[in-house]
Amino acid sequence: MVFRIFRFRWFKRALALVLGVLLGVGAAQLVSLAQEAPTVWEVGTEPAFPPFEMRDDATGDLTGFDIELMRAIGKAAGREVKFISLPFDGLVPALQSRTIDAAISGMTITAERAQTVDFSRPYFEAGLAIAVRESNTDINSLEDLAGQRIAVQIGTTGAEQAAQVEGATVSTFDSAPLALQELLNGRVDAVINDLPVTLFAINEANLQGVKVVGELVTEEYYGIALPQDTEALAEINAAFDTLLQDGTYAEIYQRWFSADPPELPVVAPALAEAGTATGLVWGRLFQNLMRGAWITILLTAFSFFFGLIGGSLVAFAMISPIKPLHWLCRIYVDFFRGTPMLVQLFMIYFGLPALFQSLGFDFSFNRIFAAILALSLNVAAYLAEILRGGIQSIDRGQWEAGESLAMNPVETMRYVVFPQAFRRILPPLGNEFITLIKDTSLAAVIGFEELFRQGQLTVATTYRAFEVYLAVAIVYLVMTSLASFVFKRLEVYMDPINRPKKVKKDPIPSAVVV
Ligand code: ARG
């Protein structure tokens, strides 16, 4: 028995010592975090936007044009810069709530954003461009995109452009590389993204089979974003001016783009226009959330249904006497229970088509199919264990009882064992269902506009993170509460003692039956 080890006094002492040391170290770290020197600037960035921000494969550190520029600005201002990785659509809300001091993330200075955050003077001239597959000769300009499928990164100016294209189906992804992967995998016709980033992906990151068409859709300037009315703004602008004058800026620019930097304006032209940030319209939010909730319900229902079928098959295979089948199922269950659902979703949706295409097959997944497949496979693994446990918890005597009544094993399972096991299975089944409702939010990463994504999309244009996510949470809560209520009722119904008695053609009037 493993537990016998706990009887040794030395073991207990060693355990206490290790725990004590761990707690001590943890507490010290917390204290030092809380006392972070005020000279540090915490700068948010979404680090999947090469060549502006990315992770150096060799060292694992952040690198890129923005990162080097920000470090240089920090140095010139006498500040230490600490980068915080955040999703792009989370940067403005983080600035609003002042959880970060600044954000540098290839962020375009727009009049809408300028209503909620402040921008430094422009530090880079960029613009949006359209990318299509090399074989595509139909799309040559923004007009040609009408009615096409477009992938974009959520919360970007590219997403805003795509939303204005007539009749287009837009799918949003958490990062620009994922949107480009979607194009490569043939599930969309075009990507609207910042030109330098798309070019970098094609030329440096080996994104083959994709080309940029037409001319720049927009002219944009990147700026460092800050919370409104902070002193840091003047400090950053002053430091940036220093870098412009002493040639550091030109040197960094040259290193990343092998060219001389263009002349930069002092104020971004976009700020001259009056910004019309879309306010939060509650009616519209409600409508969008309901649309998302419907997709969440569909995803949950289908995945649970298929998961239940798959899980039952696996459960029976695991109690069957056929050993190889047993081992195969064990591997399946361990894999799907032991790896994050997010990884499984990415593997199936982005990985499999890429693999097949590299093998020369023209293969691509439908989004809904991939999501339901990934969710069902995952749920089935959990349900298999629940079902197996439930069935095996029924006393052997019940099988013998069935046999003595001349029932074959299938009949015994159907009439004797399963009905009893089912009652025990119900509570964990309910848990699994509720977990699944929440887990469907992961499908947002493959561009599914389910409930959570609908919230994210609203925040990306209104910057009202708290209200919107609270509304999203409430809708989830309503759904999970309903599910838990239904499972409770089912439990009562399945309980032979408390079940409301059914009266079949009884001579006694039913009112008399208690
Ligand atoms: N320039 C575009 C914008 O501001 C895209 C920026 C995306 N940046 C990023 N790190 N993912 O909307």
Tell me the domains of the chain and their CATH numbers: 40-124+223-272 (3.40.190.10), 128-218 (3.40.190.10), 282-494 (1.10.3720.10)
Does the CB atom of residue 106 touch ligand 1 within 6 A?
A: yes
Cα-to-centroid distance, 151 and ligand 1 (Å): 14
pTM for this entry: 0.79
State the pLDDT at residue 401. Answer: 92
Ordered strands of the 80-85 beta sheet: 80-85, 40-45, 102-103, 225-226, 118-119
Pocket test for ligand 1, best of 55, 88, 173, 195 (most atoms within 8 A of CB): 88
- Report which of 456, 455, 460 is spatially closest to residue 471, judged by C-alpha positions: 455
Of 28-32, 391-395, 488-492, where does mean pLDDT reach its minimum?
A: 28-32
Question: Which of 43, 65, 92, 107 for a ligand 1 pocket mutation test, highest count of atoms within 8 Å of Cβ?
Answer: 107
* Structural contact between residues 201 and 138, judged by C-beta atoms closer than 8 angstroms: no
Q: Kindly indicate the confidence band of residue 507, based on its pLDDT and cuts at 50, 70 and 90.
A: low
Arithmetic mean of pLDDT, 4-29:
78
Residue 514's pLDDT band, with cuts at 50, 70 and 90, is very low
Whole-angstrom CA distances from 250 to 247, 258, 259, 263, 433 are: 5, 10, 9, 11, 57
**Is the CB of 88 within 6 Å of ligand 1?**
yes
Please indicate whether residue 46, judged by its CB atom, sits closer than 6 Å to ligand 1.
yes
Rounded Cα distance, 63 and 50, in Å: 9
In angstroms, what is the span from residue 32 Cα to ligand 1's centroid? 33
If one compares 214 and 249, the residue with the highest pLDDT of the two is 249
327-365: b or e for each residue (b if 16 or more CB lie within 10 Å)?
A: eebeebbeebeeeebeebbbebbbebbeeebeeeeeebb
Say if residue 36's pLDDT is above 60: no
pLDDT of 512: 46
Residue 148 CB–ligand 1 contact under 6 Å: no
Return d(Cα 479, Cα 290) in angstroms, integer: 11
Rounded to the nearest angstrom, the distance between the alpha carbon of 176 and the centre of ligand 1 is 8
CA dihedral over 311, 436, 366, 202, signed as positive or negative: negative
3-state DSSP assignment of residue 73: helix
Which residues face 169 on adjacent strands? 149
Whether the pLDDT of residue 327 is over 90: the answer is yes
Structure tokens at 352: 């499999």
Whether residue 316 is predicted with pLDDT greater than 50 in this model: the reply is yes
Q: What pLDDT is attached to residue 228?
A: 95
What's the pLDDT at 114?
Answer: 93
Of 69, 86, 157, 178, which is best to mutate to test ligand 1, by the most ligand atoms within 8 angstroms of its C-beta?
A: 157
Distance CA 164, CA 109 (A): 19
Structure confidence at residue 358 as a pLDDT band (50, 70, 90):
confident
Q: Cα(249) to centroid of ligand 1, in Å? A: 21
Q: Is residue 277 predicted with pLDDT exceeding 80?
A: no
| Closest approach atom of ligand 1 to CA 220 | 1
| Ligand 1 binding pocket includes 108 (Cβ within 6 Å) | yes
Q: Inform me whether the pLDDT recorded for 275 exceeds 70.
A: no
- State the DSSP string of 168-225: -EEEEESSHHHHHHHHHTTS-SEEEEEHHHHHHHHHTS--TTEEEESS-S--EEE--E
